[in-house]
Amino acid sequence: MFKKLIRRDHHISHRIASSSRRPQKLFVVISLLAIPEITFSLSGLYIIVGVATTNLSLRDAGLFALGTLCVGSITKLLVRRVRPDTTYVQSMRTHTFSFPSGHSTGSMVVYGSFAWVIASELPLLLGTLTLLTAGVYIFLVGVSRVYLGAHYVSDVIAGWLLGAAGLLLYILSGN
d(CA 167, CA 148) in angstroms, rounded, equals: 26
Note the pLDDT of residue 24.
75
Please determine, for residue 41, whether its predicted confidence score (pLDDT) is greater than 70. yes
Per-residue pLDDT band for 69 (boundaries 50, 70, 90) equals very high
The domain total for the chain is 1
Per-residue pLDDT band for 149 (boundaries 50, 70, 90) equals confident
pLDDT tens figures, 82-135: 888 887 778 878 788 889 999 999 999 999 999 999 999 999 999 999 999 999
Note the pLDDT of residue 175.
64
Tell me which residues are annotated as active site: 103, 151
Note the pLDDT of residue 82.
87
Percentage of the chain beyond pLDDT 70 is: 87
Note the pLDDT of residue 11.
65
Range of the domain at 48: 2-172
Q: Are 58 and 44 in contact (CB under 8 A)?
A: no
Please determine, for residue 9, whether its predicted confidence score (pLDDT) is greater than 90. no
Q: What is the mean pLDDT of the chain?
A: 88
Note the pLDDT of residue 135.
96
